[in-house]
Chain A
């Protein structure tokens, strides 16, 4: 579904991606992990064309994304939930949801979102910037789902969220995958990433340094410690 090969990019004169290779297959949930500043968000931004690519290729559903304008990605089936939610805080919660709907609003879709995220329905008339961070994240995910995407790219969806809501967001991301939607997930929270993803990529200094299954990573504490700086023991206890 998504094939990234030898992707390079730079910010100013500083190279931030030095040849990233990754693949997301149809219905797959893939996590991109790494320490702060290794190029995870830059990888997503380069895939979406928000960061100028200097080399390599990004192919989605057999079509190169090199010259595709960002606004066409949504109609191609790519949804993006950026870091920090990416909602429109001054528009109401309802307006945020309806923004993604072309023509008449799909009421069934909206109703489905209310069932999935009941807290959103309670806040429909509020400016979207006023609910809690977790609720804003749910809104961002719901808005993305309103586009009926085939691939959702999520950038640190549990960052800065109350622990009580993290499990709910995690549950919703798992539900997205169950619907057959592919997910590319950037995550600092190793527990969340390992629970959700079937495959993981580890990044270091703008490159992919490890690729494998989530189960495989659980048996490789040395790799986890080397590239993520955490002890797997602290994480393992919660992996089911």
Chain B
């Protein structure tokens, strides 16, 4: 078996496990965990939006909660005001987040490093306080509640989010679609430009890559992802609240992305999964469990800087490269010699 075979096998097991969740967990008497896994899937998209910028472009954003909030309010307000359907509300949420990301991105992507991080926080804070003060529209901290429309209405059959299994599969389908789209993007010439800019933006410019435009595209894509995440979370909780636009939400997403493995496509899913499960297991017993989250993050940054996904990849490489070398001990992994 090669490393790529092992990766495909791992991905297949993960997908099958996620598909089995609504049946397997209740069978084990753990109904509660179905919703937790659904929540992990939603948050993994927010972490993925951080990862798209941090892992693929080297831009650390502490402001993704802003687009998450726009996704939430796009759904809640459009349903309450115009009585739109599920998919239209989802599209409006995503579009609202993308437009906001475009506006912020036009200024933000001119900067890099800590300046970029600071401006993303500043944008996030400005709109957080604006949303908190515009209670007539946003409901402030209390938020705006709504009744989710049916996901599908085929003849007499309605697919409703009130059915926990249907809700889980709708969330899984949309999240999987977003990750598949991200996989296409990061493996396309555009994704290659992202990585080139991450490595050295000046060199990237000199081979014809428009660094500003590419960063802006990535920023808007990341905003759209955060918007979908927010929209799904609004459907999941049946409400939108300005409190989710605060930067501590962005900070959590950064931690999930780093622990899971920045620059790995599925790293954010692993990071959000590991830390949300940890929270659920520990927070009831220990009020200050965030101290442990902090320690875990520090340990990961120090000893496994490529996160869970990176460590898993390294493990696969070690296991299968050694085996493949063992099959033919006379054949070295690489030949490095100079011409005679």
Contacts and interface: CB of A to CB of B under 8 A. Distances in A.
Interface of A: 48, 50, 69-75, 80, 82, 86-91, 95, 98-103, 122, 126, 130-132, 134, 143-144, 147, 162, 164-165, 168
| Interface class of chain B by DSSP | helix
B55 to A, nearest CB: 12
B211 A71 contact: yes
B329 interface: no
A69 B195 contact: no
A76 to B, nearest CB: 9
22 contacts: A70-B202, A70-B206, A71-B204, A80-B206, A86-B206, A87-B203, A90-B195, A91-B192, A91-B196, A95-B195, A98-B192, A99-B193, A99-B196, A102-B189, A102-B208, A103-B189, A126-B334, A134-B338, A144-B207, A147-B208, A164-B339, A165-B339
Nearest to B203: A86
Interface in B219-250: none
A126 B339 CA distance: 19
B58 to A, nearest CB: 11
Contacts of B338: 132, 134, 162, 164-165
B205 A91 contact: no
B196 A98 contact: no
Contacts of B203: 82, 86-88
Q: Which of A99, A101, A134 has the most chain B CB within a 10 Å cutoff?
A: A99
B200 interface: yes
B189 A100 contact: no
Nearest to A73: B206
A144 B207 CA distance: 8
B207 A99 contact: yes
Size range of the chain B interface in the assembly: 20 to 34
Contacts of A95: 192, 195
B202 A50 contact: yes
Contacts, number: 76
Contacts of A73: 206, 208
Interface string B147-164: 000000000000000000
B327 interface: no
A101 B189 contact: yes
A168 B338 CA distance: 11
Given A91-B199, A132-B338, 11 more contacts: A69-B205, A70-B202, A70-B205, A71-B208, A73-B208, A86-B200, A91-B192, A98-B189, A100-B208, A103-B189, A147-B207
Interface in B252-301: none
B81 interface: no
Contacts of A82: 203, 206
Contacts of A162: 338
A104 B275 CA distance: 41
B325 interface: no
Contact of A88 (B199, B208, B334): B199
A74 B189 contact: no
A71 B212 CA distance: 10
B100 interface: no
A71 B199 CA distance: 16
B265 to A, nearest CB: 16
Nearest to A134: B338
B206 A74 contact: yes
A51 to B, nearest CB: 11
B207 A74 contact: yes
Contact of B210 (A50, A71, A88, A164): A71
